[in-house]
Amino acid sequence: MDCCLSDTKWGISESIILGALLGLILLCNRLFSAVDFSSGFFSCPSKSRNYACGPPVLGFKKTNHLRMKKPALLSLFFLSFNVLLLSGQARLNHPAKMHQAENGKLYVNKHQPMYLYIGSTPTSTENMHRLESHKTPQYTNPFYFDTEGLNTIRTPSQVDTITKQVVYPVADIVFEVFADGLAPTTKVMWSNAVRYVNSGKVFYGKGLSVSMTATDQMSGVQNIYVSRNSQPYTAYTDTLHFEEESDYTIRVYAVDHVGNVEEDKTFEFSIDATPPVANWSLEGNVHGRAASGDSKIIIAAKDSRSGLKQIRYQINDQPVRIYKDGINLSALPTGEYALKYWAEDNVGNVFEGNDVGTSVIAFVVDRTPPTASSLVLGDQSVGKVLYVSPRSQIELSARDTVSGIHNIIYGYSQRFMDEIYEAPFALEDKHGLQTVWFQALDMVSNRSVIEKLTVFMDNEAPISRIEYDGPQFFTRDTLFISSETTVQLKSEDADSGVDQIEYRINGGSFQRGQKFKLPNGGFHTIDFKATDKVLNVEAEKQSELVVDNEAPEIYVNFSIKALREEELDGEKISVYPPYVKMYIGATDRFCGTQDIFYAIDGGEKRLYGGANSPSGNELFKDEKLYEVHVEATDKLGNSSLNAIKFRVAKK
């Protein structure tokens, strides 16, 4: 019989599809040690060497051994898959596989599915049969090795290959298989450069070399793979060198001979190949390069990558010292001096500076500080505070009687006066109190007292409204007033206060005022606006209205036609019978009639339509001359009067 080994390689897409089955397969692998094959060639292994339970068998013990019938030449086919892990830069495809080492040992990937084949010819492609388990089919095809390292496949009783007889003493035939389910481990070594870590960020100096080694406890390391700055992974062959200043990300992983892939290791770091930038200056009573004895030398240095480690300096042949907070010149006599200084960053890059000719000489010391003052230009109003508008500007000035003014600094915080005054400036357009802090410096850096100017930014215009005092009536989306109605304009401003209110009638010129009347009847528009004390002007508002100066028109009718007309004192008078009644009506053009009143012969004025109304009662029974006064008013109080004379007679 013949046997052979084979494995099936899976690509990325197949690995992804099968990746979801990994958990189930691993579970089966854990249960596999309990598998017992029997049926045909197979049966359960006996605890004794006599195999009383049946013929020689192929099966597993708890020690992960298989027993196989001695005439058979066995072969194993192993199938594996490798789940592609995609995290950051995609790794290469490394399928699980088998590996025969130079010493003849067979290594398989512990996570691969396993199949047993048996054949009767040396050729693995002829007359091969996959073994089935009828007793424990759920744990076979595939089955899994559950032991890391040595696993054995056994068949009881060694058989002489020539005589075909059992060899005594009885012993198993053993086939060794080494299962490897652990990935290798990569170690990265960094050399030839200074290392510095700040807030988790790693910096190296120039000349960095990076080398790598990997170890694997079973099948051995096949390759280390490296990716630089998201480039595709390539096999590591030699030390990596980093000279160019930049940010780098390298990812590495190792693969063993059976396709176990190490988790990516990611290293982020920066190469700092540039020395710090440094310069020096004289601070104190200084003009040019001459300085007084109470001045200091200031060395400033900055490193934009790994940061500044230290500054060292040397004056003439004095010892080299560490720079801390200025170099006091009080101990130096008059003379010419040479200054050398070095600025070093945290990865060993060094800036070298030197200067010759710094001479400390005596000169007039200016110890009198300047004085500084402020002035508001433009819109302003003094109330509880000083109010300004967005159009206002702040002018700063200073005076010094000795060395003169160098500059004025200012800001909106006493701690951060970082603006240099050059010309009048506007404040922030932010409603509310604002404080400008300022200070003057003279030519030798004497500083004035820190001054402040507090103002209230009033960037909100007044809010106005219009009111009507007197007769008014609103109907059909129209406001009606009379010529006696007072128009009142009111405005409020919570900050600097209202300065003036202006209005105009029917698009005319604006005029100041808050109360007025409209004598002329008809449709009118009133535009109005208010201005506060820092000249914030409100957007124009408009009100539309109709002035109604017209009184209702009165109509009088009688319940019967006149008997005749007579003339009295040149006036025609109608004559009615004693049972006559009077009907009074009135019509108003705009607002409608409100009330009608009447009075007979100078008597009490009564509301028409009530009790004893002339339309519902016979109030004119006496034979005489009557004079009825009628008054009609509309809803705005406009009234009209009418007097009606007539005589009552029986015939």
Tell me: the pLDDT tens digits for 589-626?
999 999 999 999 999 999 998 767 888 888 899 999 99
Q: How confident is the model at residue 317 (pLDDT cuts 50, 70, 90)?
A: confident
| Higher per-residue confidence, 39 vs 495 | 495
436: its two tokens: 């400008």
Q: Is 457 exposed, middle or buried (0-12, 13-18, 19+ CB in 10 A)?
A: buried
Tell me: the pLDDT tens digits for 149-173?
999 988 889 999 999 999 999 999 9
Helix (H) or strand (E) holding 586: strand 582-587
Whether 15 shows a pLDDT value over 80: the answer reads no
Reported pTM: 0.44
- Write phi, then psi, for 608 (nearest 5 degrees): -70, 135
Segment among 38-52, 125-139, 465-479, 570-584 with least mean pLDDT: 38-52
| Closest among 579, 496, 495 to 533, alpha carbons compared | 496
Instruction: Return the pLDDT at 297.
Output: 85
What percent of the chain clears pLDDT 90, i.e. is strictly above it? 67
Ranked by mean pLDDT, the top range of 9-23, 149-163, 517-531 is 517-531
Q: How confident is the model at residue 442 (pLDDT cuts 50, 70, 90)?
A: confident
The Cα–Cα gap between 198 and 148 comes to 42
The CA-CA-CA angle for residues 210, 212, 216, to 5°, reads 170
Instruction: Return the pLDDT at 402.
Output: 67
Segment among 46-60, 356-370, 539-553 with least mean pLDDT: 46-60
Q: How confident is the model at residue 288 (pLDDT cuts 50, 70, 90)?
A: low
Domains (ranges, CATH) in the chain?
12-180 (no CATH), 185-271 (2.60.40.10), 277-360 (2.60.40.10), 371-457 (2.60.40.10), 463-547 (2.60.40.10), 553-648 (2.60.40.10)
Instruction: Return the pLDDT at 89.
Output: 65
Instruction: Return the pLDDT at 73.
Output: 32
**C-alpha torsion sign, points 600, 604, 606, 612:** negative
507 pairs with which residues across the strands? none
Q: Which residues contact 370 (CB under 8 A, 6 or more apart)?
A: 398, 399, 400, 405, 440, 441, 442, 446, 447, 448
Whether 342 shows a pLDDT value over 80: the answer reads yes
Mean pLDDT of the chain: 83
Whether 521 shows a pLDDT value over 80: the answer reads yes
Going across the sheet that includes 149-155, the strands are: 99-100, 106-109, 173-180, 149-155
Segment among 46-55, 213-222, 301-310, 468-477 with least mean pLDDT: 46-55
**C-alpha torsion sign, points 111, 112, 118, 119:** negative
Tell me: the pLDDT tens digits for 627-640?
999 999 999 999 99
Instruction: Return the pLDDT at 58.
Output: 34
